[in-house]
Structure 1
Amino acid sequence: MVDDKYLLALSAFHLGMALFCTNQLLLHQRHQRVYVPLALFFVTQSVTEMLSILDLVVVDESYDYVVSRFNSLHVPAVFAQPLLLWLYVRALTSEDNGPPIRQRLWHAVPILLAISMVVLFWTIPKSLFAQNDLEFADLSQYIQAILIYFQLVEVLFYIQVTLYLVLIMKMLSRYRARLKDLFATTEDRELTWVWWITTTISAYLLLSVAEILADLFGIEMFQLFSDASDLTSGLSSLAITWVIGIWGVRQQPGLMPKTHSAPAAAEQELVAAKYERSALTDDHATRIATKIERAMTKDLLYRDSNLSLWDLAKHISVTSNYVSQTLNMTLQSNFFDYVNKWRIQDAVKQLHDTDETILVIAHDVGFNSRSSFYNAFKREMNTTPSALRAARPAP
């Protein structure tokens, strides 16, 4: 068995990290709708770790029933974590506040069931805590019903986690597509770390379900995993908290401009992901397309590494909604692909005509990193910058 002192040290470190992240998140003055759900997520982890420490510190068996009852309080905290993580990602990937949560009261059902578990657990007689090796058949019908209810709620918890993971993955997919409608450079706004967290939790969920099924059907698990399950669980939870803490504390909402100059308050409604039919006629769209092309060919606007849809709209004196519609319906491209196509065309010309290094060319045409330049170049030209330069005719 794993020594309790290791579990105690792990829980204490986890508690300190959760409290520190909570404090840092609550210090944010802007975007509180993003950071408050994540702060509450760390509060629930703090509650869970404090109760774990209580369970490890109190060794007097006469207080087992008291510790067990108080330790049941971690159940609502654990049930709240998937909801809070979903609320955080939802706010992080939204352009507005989204639908009010009060219109989706079903999100509160698992937490209410968890609270009911705590209430029922506290009704279990003290005498049962002092008895060992109790058979299910020897228990009263009331206690049997409570235990069955607990099992059903536990199944609901796994369903809840699965549902929120699916919802988060869908939000991330929509977010990635929307980034390309608004920004020419997206790597500093990508939420790759959230993808990794979601994937890790999914894998851990599958492992937990496998362990439960193995125990249910009497299948022997690996002895090493069985002996160290508490430590493994603690380390996994700590690793997830660590990653969320490192990235979540500093992560900014991605679908907003980094400068205050764009867009103006009156244009906020013009940045919706999809548009309905508007007053934009074909002739008007053609004129806007001409302005966009001129901004690229004459003004070399694509060389701005922080170029956004709002910047382009301001430059050509057209609303961002009309610019986006023109790109999608007239030029048949999203903003990201359109701008990066111009960047790659410029880079190809420089690779042929100059001896500048590839990194210098990448930065000159508007890319922030060598990797993003290579990825865009390979996607557009089906070859690498090095291979293209090597194939140019000798002077």
Structure 2
Amino acid sequence: MMTQPILDIIATATFSLGLFGAVLCCLQTRDVWPFRALAAVLLASCATTLGDVPWPIANPDSAIRFDIFAAVIWLIGLMAAAPLFWGYVRVITSVTPRLPPRIWVHALLPTIALILGAAVLFMPQHARLGLFTDTHPLPTGWPLAVGMAGEMLVLLAIVQWGAYVVAIIRRLHHYRKRLRSYVASVEHNELKWIGTIIVIYSAYWGVGAIDVAADVTPLTATVPAWIDAVFGLGLLVILLLFGLRQRPSLAPGAATLPDSATKYEKSALTPAMADRITRKLRAAMGDDKLHRDPNLSLWSLARHIGASPNYISQTLNENIGDSFFDFVNSYRISDAQALLRDTDQTVLEITYDVGFNSRSSFYTAFKKVTRQTPTAYRGSVSAPT
């Protein structure tokens, strides 16, 4: 069980790291949108930990006023955290960063929290003390209504986070599917760390739900303070480690690619042109070995064969029946099979020789095609008959 000094150290570290990360993001001159969006997320994290930091306030009256102020900031940060994180995910998975549609929906609960916070700060002192301390009676009239609305908003925060988790998961699924339409190696761009954030924050959300349930129901279950503190610090560390290195992964040209085959209906691509592109694509892989380039993209392939990226995408989908990712990897796997069968190269050497960026992605792709691991395949083709 953690002592209060350790909890104070964790809270101070969380607040300081969040503030430092936000300032660092604001100083960036490249990829401004993603860094500004990340800075907003980090500031929301700071807002939720402001009241846990052991600020050196000696005057009791000043300490009470600060605690009330920190509680107001906590509520605003709590309601803003999920929409801001959703906005950050949207920015780094978009071709052209822009504000999401119907932004008022995402801003609604944070705005209500801001209004309630302003009402608390402007209500009479005795009313504030009645809402936030046990030394004064509960206020009546509109101050009581503000307090009840704040309690309801905390309950809504639980529902809000669940809704945003679903939205983020759907966004990542669409993004990863689109990513395979133009890049042949996705392991460095799949944003798996966002999935880790979702898992940890969901556990963090569960802890908060238990705390809220204990406050508004007869339940006696309580969550140790150190769990909340460790979750908060862990989330912030992951955000800083990966967020500060993350760049938008979708190339600007991805904006011109159709999202579905139905959008090819107005295309000027003729069957003869598609057949010619198909031959060029197969020659680029079979003769020129372009699949061995780990950074191969739809646009570099388009430059190589002298065809429009849109036409290549349409040809792959309609004539060949593969995504760009699957088409390139089919040649990589075929190449790897020959090397496993005819050479003594190690699996790791073959992994990089045929164009994969990691052994794990090679194993996954190889097993998907052959139903065997590379080692098992080598053993089967070299076994005596």
Q: Name the TM-score, length of structure 2 as normaliser.
A: 0.90
Aligned to 1:260: none
Indicate whether 1:316 and 2:315 are aligned: no
Shift of 1:192: 0.6
* Cα shift at 1:272: 4.3
- Where 1:219 maps in the other structure, the secondary structure is coil
Counterpart AA for 1:173: H
Structure 1 residue 244: Cα displacement: 0.5
How far apart are 1:362 and its partner, in Å? 1.6
Matched, 1:84 2:70: no
Aligned residues: 377
Q: Tell me the equivalent position of 1:69.
A: 68
CA apart distance, 1:206: 2.5
Q: Does 1:212 align with 2:219?
A: no
Conservation of the 8 A alpha-carbon contact between 1:94 and 1:255:
yes
- Give me the whole-angstrom Cα distance separating, in 1, the residues matched to 2:63 and 2:87: 36
Query: How does 1:103-122 map onto structure 2 within 5 Å?
Result: 103-122=102-121
Letter paired with 1:32: V
Is 64-73 or 285-294 further displaced after alignment? 64-73
Structure 1 equivalent of residue 46 of structure 2: 46
State the AA in 2 paired with 1:248. G
Q: Distance in 2 between matches of 1:39 and 1:135?
A: 40
Match of 2:230 in 1: 235
**What are the equivalent positions in structure 2 for 1:306-385 lying under 5 Å apart?**
306-385=295-374
In 2, Cα distance between the equivalents of 1:24 and 1:391? 54
Question: Which SS does the other structure have where 2:381 is aligned?
Answer: coil
Q: CA offset at residue 105 of structure 1?
A: 1.9
Identity of aligned residues (%): 31
In the other structure, the counterpart of 1:132 is: 134
- Kindly state the Cα deviation for residue 394 of structure 1 after the two structures are TM-superposed: 5.5
Q: Which moved more, 1:344-353 or 1:77-86?
A: 77-86
Partner of 1:24: 24
Query: 1:259 corresponds to which residue?
Result: none
Larger deviation, residues 79-88 vs 206-215? 206-215
Q: AA paired with 1:105?
A: W
Deviation track 1:23-70 (CA, whole Å, cap 9, x = no partner) reads 33223322111111101222333344444326x543643334412332
* CA distance in 2 between partners of 1:124 and 1:25 (Å): 36
8 Å Cα contact 2:184/2:296 also seen in 1: yes
What is the CA distance between 1:103 and its match in structure 2? 4.5
The offset of 1:152, in angstroms, is: 1.9
Give distance in 2, aligned partners of 1:311 and 1:103. Answer: 36
Q: C-alpha distance in 1, partners of 2:211/2:255?
A: 49
- Alpha-carbon spacing, 1:393–1:83, altered in 2? closer, same or farther (3 Å): closer
Tell me if structure 1 keeps the 8 A contact 2:93–2:250.
yes
Change (3 A) 1:292 1:157: same
Change (3 A) 1:351 1:73: closer
Cα 1:155–1:132 change in 2 (3 A) is closer
Which residue in 2 is equivalent to 1:248? 243
Q: Aligned in 2, Cα 1:268/1:369: closer, same or farther, shift over 3 Å?
A: closer
**2:276 aligned to which of 281, 284, 287:** 287
Q: Which amino acid aligns with 1:286?
A: D
For the residues of structure 1 that align with 2:297 and 2:214, how far apart are their CA atoms?
52
Preserved contact between residue 22 and residue 42 of structure 1 (Cα < 8 Å): yes
Aligned residue for 2:257? Answer: 271
Task: Report the Cα offset of residue 281 of structure 1.
Answer: 2.0
Distance 1:172 1:18, change over 3 A: same
Answer whether contact 1:270 1:319 (CA < 8 A) is retained.
no
Work out whether residues 185 and 325 of structure 2, in 8 Å CA contact, stay in contact via their aligned partners in 1: yes
Q: Amino acid of the residue matched to residue 294 of structure 2?
A: S
| 1:80–1:111 CA contact under 8 A, matched in 2 | yes
1:269–1:212 distance in 2 versus 1, CA, 3 Å: closer
RMSD over equivalenced CA pairs, Å: 2.4
Q: Match of 1:109, as an amino acid?
A: L
Q: Which amino acid aligns with 2:26?
A: L
Displacement of 1:214 = 4.0
Number of the residue aligned with 2:7: 7
Once the 2 structures are TM-superposed, how far is the Cα of residue 368 of structure 1 from its aligned partner? 1.7
The one-letter code matched in structure 1 to 2:219 is I
* SS of the residue 2:15 aligns to: helix
Are the equivalent residues in 1 in contact too, given 2:15–2:53 (CA < 8 A)? no
User: Aligned-pair distance for 1:82?
Assistant: 1.7
Partner of 1:173: 173
- Give the structure-1-normalised TM-score: 0.88
Preserved CA contact (<8 Å) 1:65 1:126: no
The residue type paired with residue 53 of structure 2 is I
CA distance in 2, matches of 1:19, 1:334: 42
- Aligned counterparts of 1:135 and 1:51: Cα–Cα separation in 2: 23
